[in-house]
Amino acid sequence: MPVRVKSNLKAILDERNISIRQLTGMAGISFESARRLYNDDTKQYQRDTLGAVCNALNIEIGELLILVKEPTKSEDE
């Protein structure tokens, strides 16, 4: 079963009642970078962005990025 890296930022921010806009101020990152990470809509993760988010939220990288198993086509059938 293949795995992929998934951003867990939405769950973290929702749990803490923090908006994307608030995070941009806390972490010093662009709104677009935060939005992409929040929506798990990025192919590549910038180290500086990940570090800034983890530092601002006082979390480890393993809390921000998680591995999820994805079923293959043959497993879906």
pLDDT tens-digit map of 43-74 = 899 999 999 999 999 999 999 999 999 887 76
Name, in order, each residue with C-beta under 8 angstroms of 77's C-beta and a sequence gap of 6 or more: none
Q: Could you tell me the domains of the chain?
A: 3-76 (1.10.260.40)
Report which residue type is found at 71. P
Its pTM stands at: 0.85
Task: Over range 16-41, report the average pLDDT.
Answer: 98
What one-character DSSP code corresponds to residue 8? Answer: -
- Write b or e for each residue in 23-38: b if 16 or more Cβ atoms lie within 10 A of its Cβ, otherwise e: bbeebebeeebbbbbb
User: How much of the chain, in percent, has pLDDT values that exceed 70?
Assistant: 95
Identify the band that residue 76 occupies on the pLDDT scale cut at 50, 70 and 90. Answer: low
DSSP code per residue over 9-44: HHHHHHHHT--HHHHHHHHT--HHHHHHHHTT--SS
Please report the pLDDT score of residue 1 as a whole number. Answer: 78
